[in-house]
């Protein structure tokens, strides 16, 4: 079965008068309903006016149709100005008073009072979900009007009812049509709302997966609190651009940002290809980790990433006629992870392996990868050169240098 054709741009603009561009589906649904029903009412009155004026061409009849159209135009204008509650109230009052007038003019035996049933249903579609009490109030008042009119209709003699059978059938047919239109709108709007909510949820889920590791993102989607977690055997890589401060001073800010974006985007793709978790970027520094969730040996995997980082940096530098280079440090050990902050929350790692990876990076020569002893032991098939340096406490730190 083929999908229904999309609504015309003009119809969509008119039905969404007063709806903010980024409004949530639940926030905009009632406005769309009121606008749609108002437009339908305008179309119906416009079609009925020639018929009424043919039967009774008079200033009062002209004034009546002009007043009705003015009220409907006012409803659209109120929605356009963000006064949705006032628009909803005027719409409901207009249709309810119209039904009351029909009952008074045509008599309860005409069946006009069955229109109250459609209006009870419409009240719950029209009023904002935070104004549910208004819908209940209108439903109660309209329900009382229906009960009263129906009781009056039951007291009418059978002969009178039969005499007005044609009017009753006509009125009933109109009410059935109104109920059908409201039901169709309710279904259409409900389907559209569900589709928008589903799309927003999918976009939100994708955003969480872009910002956090998959395990953390899934927990956040389930509404779970992320507790700190210890990871016993994780390899961490830290890299930093050599001479970035001087580079930033020499080039325009836009150019500097473009270089960082191109470089880190290449690093991101490498992480995805190697199933390595990107942790963060800080200035011109990039941090990633392997083995966070699997616990499997990950040093060779991370060393492949480090070599890919060096290659990508040199390719980008060559393409831009720049002497770009990086220092890379890799360490393996215990870390703990967690999500910190409420606004712009971030996932991060702390622990000995993180500190040692930064230490390795700071003491690596440009264009080289410096491994701590644990990582070097796990990457036995890698050609490396033993080296040593002193840390800030003047302790001798053994390491292994890898030059691609």
Least confident of 52-56, 169-173, 358-362: 169-173
Measured CA to CA, the distance from residue 221 to residue 211 in angstroms comes to 13
Q: Helix (H, G, I), strand (E, B), or coil: what is residue 232?
A: strand
Checking if the pLDDT of 72 tops 80, the result is: yes
Measured CA to CA, the distance from residue 363 to residue 276 in angstroms comes to 24
Q: What is the pLDDT of residue 176?
A: 57
Q: What percent of the chain has pLDDT over 70?
A: 83
Mean predicted lDDT score pLDDT of the chain: 81
Measured CA to CA, the distance from residue 357 to residue 346 in angstroms comes to 20
Question: pTM score, two decimals?
Answer: 0.58
Classify residue 292 by its DSSP letter: T
74-99 confidence digits (pLDDT tens): 999 998 888 888 888 998 898 888 88
Token representation of residue 289: 């980790």
Q: At what angle do helices 59-80 and 25-55 cross, to 10 degrees?
A: 170
Domains in the chain: boundaries: 9-209, 225-402
Q: What is the pLDDT of residue 159?
A: 43
208-218 confidence digits (pLDDT tens): 888 888 888 88
Q: What is the pLDDT of residue 345?
A: 81
Nearest to 36 by CA among 138, 134, 127, 126: 126
Write the burial class of residue 94 (CB in 10 Å: 0-12 exposed, 13-18 middle, 19+ buried): middle
Q: List Cβ neighbours of 120 (8 Å cut-off, separation of 6 or more).
A: 138, 139, 142, 143, 146
Q: Helix (H, G, I), strand (E, B), or coil: what is residue 398?
A: strand
Residues 333 and 234 sit within 8 Å (Cβ to Cβ): yes
Q: What is the pLDDT of residue 173?
A: 56
Question: Residue 386: CA atoms inside 13 Å, Cβ hemisphere, count?
Answer: 6
Tell me what the mean pLDDT of segment 127-139 comes to. Answer: 78
31-53 confidence digits (pLDDT tens): 888 888 888 888 877 887 777 67
Q: What percent of the chain has pLDDT over 90?
A: 21
Residue 116 sits at the vertex; the CA angle it makes with 163 and 194, to the nearest 5 degrees, is: 135
Token representation of residue 9: 């741009």
147-166 confidence digits (pLDDT tens): 888 777 766 644 444 445 55
Tell me what the mean pLDDT of segment 112-120 comes to. Answer: 77
Classify residue 3 by its DSSP letter: P
Measured CA to CA, the distance from residue 276 to residue 308 in angstroms comes to 13
What CATH number labels 225-402? 3.30.70.1230
Between residues 239 and 6, the one the model is more confident about: 239
């Amino acid at each position: 079965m083929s999908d229904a054709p999309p609504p015309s741009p003009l119809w969509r603009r008119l039905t969404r008068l007063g709806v903010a561009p980024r409004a949530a589906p639940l926030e905009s649904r009632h406005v769309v309903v009121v606008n749609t029903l108002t437009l339908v009412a305008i179309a119906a009155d416009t079609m009925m006016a020639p018929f009424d004026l043919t039967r009774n061409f008079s200033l009062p009849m002209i004034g009546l149709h002009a007043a009705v159209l003015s009220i409907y135009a006012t409803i659209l204008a109120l929605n356009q100005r963000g006064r949705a509650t006032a628009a909803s109230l005027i719409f409901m009052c207009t249709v309810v008073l119209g039904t009351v007038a029909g009952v008074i003019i045509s008599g309860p035996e005409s069946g006009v009072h069955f229109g109250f049933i459609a209006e009870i249903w419409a009240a719950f579609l029209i009023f904002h979900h935070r104004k549910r009490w208004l819908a209940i109030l209108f439903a109660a008042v309209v329900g009382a009007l229906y009960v009263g009119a129906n009781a009056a209709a039951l007291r009418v003699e059978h002969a009178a009812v039969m005499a007005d059978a044609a009017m009753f059938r006509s009125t009933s047919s109109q009410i059935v049509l109104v109920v059908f239109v409201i039901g169709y709108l309710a279904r259409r709007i409900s389907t559209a709302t569900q589709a928008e909510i589903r799309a927003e949820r999918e976009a939100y889920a994708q955003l969480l997966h872009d910002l956090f590791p998959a395990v953390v993102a899934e927990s956040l989607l389930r509404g779970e609190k992320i507790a700190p977690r210890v990871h016993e055997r994780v390899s961490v890589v830290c890299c930093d651009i050599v001479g970035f401060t001087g580079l930033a001073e020499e080039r325009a800010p836009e150019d500097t940002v473009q270089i960082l974006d191109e470089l880190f985007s290449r690093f991101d793709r490498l992480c995805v290809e190697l199933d390595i978790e990107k942790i963060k970027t800080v200035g011109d520094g990039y941090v990633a980790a392997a083995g966070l969730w699997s616990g499997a040996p990950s040093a060779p995997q991370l060393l492949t990433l480090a070599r890919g980082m060096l290659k990508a940096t040199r390719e980008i530098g060559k393409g831009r006629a720049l002497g770009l280079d990086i220092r890379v440090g890799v360490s393996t050990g215990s870390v703990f992870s967690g999500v910190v902050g409420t606004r712009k929350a971030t996932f991060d790692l702390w622990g000995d392996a993180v500190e040692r990876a930064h230490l390795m990076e700071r003491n690596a020569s440009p264009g080289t990868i410096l491994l701590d002893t644990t990582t070097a032991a796990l990457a036995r098939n890698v050609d490396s050169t033993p080296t040593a340096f002193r840390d800030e406490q003047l302790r001798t730190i053994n390491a292994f240098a890898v030059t691609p």
